[in-house]
Amino acid sequence: MIFSAKHQHVVFAFFMSFMMSAIMSFVISLINLGWVDNILSIWFQAWVMAFIVAFPVILIVGPLVRKLVSWVVKQP
């Protein structure tokens, strides 16, 4: 293991924000612009900005989401 279990929430937030911002920024770029010649460059710039926002947002909102999930999910 590279990270200890106490850092699990930060590692989760990093990977979740990395993947979601990449996917969402690419899809939105395609929807807005279509497949243009420089779509990968446009997407990469959008992805960097999206990741910069997404990572701290997931760190901040994550505990609230966990509480909401535990509120709506019945425990066995």
* Residue 5: pLDDT over 90: no
Angle, CA 63 vertex, CA 58 and CA 67 arms, to 5°: 130
Going by pLDDT thresholds of 50, 70 and 90, the confidence category of residue 52 is: very high
Q: Judge contact between 47 and 25, C-beta under 8 A.
A: yes
pTM exceeding the 0.95 threshold for the entire prediction: no
